[in-house]
């Protein structure tokens, strides 16, 4: 594993761990904010994921994170437009 890949993996793990440190403070009628990523950031993230070994647990963790982001976006759409 190259140094850049290890660094990207370490950053991803740190972000996942830090994300669990604080409880969200929002009412049930509000959705968590989803930070937008630029195309360049998305490409860099995908490149780092693609460089991971096939059995690396970070692959699953990143998939879970992507699904959580999708859920947060869907929450916003439901509040704006209804079911």
How far is CA 13 from each of CA 7, 45, 65, 69, 73, rounded to the nearest angstrom?
Answer: 10, 13, 11, 16, 22
DSSP calls for the chain: --HHHHHHHHHHHHHHHHHTTS-----TT---------HHHHHHHHHHHHTS-TT-HHHHHHHHHHHHHHHHHHHHHHHHH--
Summarised one tens digit per residue, pLDDT across range 24-58 is 554 556 788 889 999 999 999 999 999 999 999 99
The first and second tokens of residue 35, run together, are: 């930070």
Place of tokens 């991971």: 52
Please tell me the distance from the alpha carbon of residue 64 to that of residue 49, in angstroms, as a whole number.
Answer: 13
Mean pLDDT of 4-10: 76
Residue 15 has pLDDT above 90, yes or no: no
Instruction: Give the per-residue pLDDT at 72.
Output: 86
């Amino acid at each position: 594993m190259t140094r850049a890949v290890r660094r990207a993996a370490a950053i991803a793990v740190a972000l996942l761990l830090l994300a669990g440190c604080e409880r969200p403070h929002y009412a049930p009628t509000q959705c968590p904010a989803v930070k937008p990523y630029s195309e360049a950031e998305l490409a860099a993230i995908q490149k780092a994921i693609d460089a991971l070994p096939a059995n690396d647990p970070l692959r699953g963790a990143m998939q879970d994170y992507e699904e959580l982001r999708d859920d947060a976006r869907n929450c916003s759409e439901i509040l704006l437009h209804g079911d």
